[in-house]
């Protein structure tokens, strides 16, 4: 779920910048939070902010 969200956000960000999708490397669960942080930062810089806060809040609520 978290990895899928991170990949989806990365894909949307790259599309906004006119780039082809690029797979997020699987560095394991320990690194996934850091990867999400970087992808969220990149999304904000690229202007991919529509619904971002709501999506992050929903994602957080869905985690155990």
pLDDT tens digits for 45-60? 999 999 999 999 999 9
**With a threshold of 0.95, does the pTM exceed it?**
no
The CA-atom distances, in angstroms, between 62 and each of 3, 4, 28 are: 13, 13, 20
Residue showing tokens 């999400």: 36
Whether 10 shows a pLDDT value over 90: the answer reads yes
- Here the tokens at position 12 are 């949307």
Q: Mention every residue, 6+ apart, whose C-beta is less than 8 A from residue 32.
A: 2, 3, 6
């Amino acid at each position: 779920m978290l990895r899928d969200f991170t990949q989806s956000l990365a894909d949307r960000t790259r599309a906004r910048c006119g780039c082809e999708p690029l797979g997020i490397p699987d560095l394991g669960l320990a690194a996934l939070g850091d990867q999400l942080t970087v992808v969220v930062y990149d999304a904000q810089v690229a202007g991919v902010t529509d619904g971002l806060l709501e999506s992050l809040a929903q994602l957080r609520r869905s985690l155990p």
